[in-house]
Amino acid sequence: MQSGPNEPSATFSFPETEEETAVGRDFRHRRRNRHGRGQRGDMILPTLPGHRNRAERFDDLVLDTAQRLHDLQGHLLDGVLFAVEEIPPGLEELLASGLPAPLGLSTPARGDLAPRVTVYRRVVEQNCPVKDQLPVLVHDVVVEHTAQLLGVAPETLDPYYHRGL
């Protein structure tokens, strides 16, 4: 059968009820385009000045939380150092003995050494189930260890503790 001049060559039907519509992601939330391709790397090339690697972004998260705590409790945090290390010392022995790896460490002042809060980047990143939750976990770890160092409850140090910024 050939179609005449007034007959359509193809017909389309649309579902009449909402139950029949296909459920899919919004275009803005797709990770791949219709050809199966998508963003595979960073938007900024590593050779450009704006590029930040994972360690630098983690340092920024710790610095942001430390700055927030200093803005909230300025005089209490004078002289406290905030540091980031890759892994805790003696991690192999901890894991061999079955103990969980610490997310951070608070070291009180000793002699001429200033009090220090250390966050272990690799351990925190491994304990974060979703990449989007990393800033919240870093915030909670820094607040917990700073509160332990100062001898106060974390909720009194930062009212947004455990609430997700």
Residue at 10 is within a domain: no
For residue 139, give its domain range: 50-156
Closest to 66 in 3D by CA, of 102, 106, 101, 110 = 106
pLDDT at residue 36 tops 80: no
Number of domain units in the chain: 1
pTM reported for the whole predicted model: 0.71
User: In this structure, are residues 122 and 131 in contact, taking their beta carbons and an 8 Å threshold?
Assistant: no
Q: Which residue has the tokens 């994972």?
A: 54
Task: Pick the more confident residue, 159 or 47.
Answer: 159
Bridge partners (DSSP) of residue 110 are: 113
CB atoms within 10 A of CB 53: 10
Residue 60 belongs to domain with CATH number? 3.30.2010.20
pLDDT grade, residue 14 (50/70/90)? very low
> Does 41 map to a domain?
no
Residue 60 has pLDDT above 90, yes or no: yes
Q: Give a yes or no: residue 2 inside a domain.
A: no
Any domain includes 83: yes
Q: Which two tokens stand for residue 152?
A: 């106060």
